[in-house]
Amino acid sequence: MFWEMCEVFGGGAASRLLLGTAENYSGPQMFPDPISPHGERGEIGPKGDKGVKGDMGVEGIHGMDGQKGEKGDQGFRGDKGDPGPIGIMGPPGVKGATGAKGPKGSKGEISSPPRSAFSVGLSKPFPPPNMPIKFDKILYNDQEDYNPSTGKFNCTIAGAYVFSYHMTIRGRPARISIVCQNRKMVRSRETLYGQEIDQASFLTILKLNIGDQVWLEVTRDWNGVYVSAEDDSIFSGFLLYPDEMLDTLL
In a domain, 127, yes or no: yes
Confidence band, pLDDT 50/70/90 cuts, at residue 250: low
Residue 248: DSSP 8-state: H
Q: Each residue of 163-198: b (16+ CB within 10 Å) or e?
A: bbbebbbbebbbbbbbbbeeeeebeeebebeeeeee
CATH of the domain at 211: 2.60.120.40
Is residue 49 in a domain? no
Phi, psi of 143 (to 5 degrees): -85, -5
Q: Are residues 121 and 28 in the same domain?
A: no
Instruction: Determine the residue type at 209.
Output: N
pLDDT at 74: 85
Domain presence at residue 163: yes
Q: Is residue 87 situated within a structural domain?
A: no
C-alpha distances in Å from residue 121, one per residue of 116, 147, 166, 188: 18, 13, 10, 19
Query: pTM to 2 decimals?
Result: 0.55
What mean pLDDT comes out for the span 147-176? 95
Amino acid, res. 211: G
Distances from the Cα of 241 to the Cαs of 47, 116, 144, 211, 246, in angstroms?
124, 10, 18, 17, 6
Q: What is the pLDDT of residue 127?
A: 95
pLDDT single digits (tens) 5-23: 444 444 444 444 444 444 4
pLDDT of residue 34: 52
Work out the pLDDT band at 1, boundaries 50, 70, 90. Answer: very low
**Structural domain contains residue 235:** yes
pLDDT digits (tens, 9 = 90+) for 108-151: 776 788 999 999 999 999 999 999 999 999 999 999 999 999 99
Residue 245 inside a domain? The answer is yes
pLDDT 10s digits, 15-45: 444 444 444 545 555 545 555 556 777 788 8
The answer on pLDDT for 249 being more than 90 is no
Let me know if residue 68 belongs to a domain: no
Supply the range of the domain harboring residue 233.
Answer: 117-249
The domain total for the chain is 2
pLDDT of residue 247: 57
**Averaged pLDDT of the chain:** 83
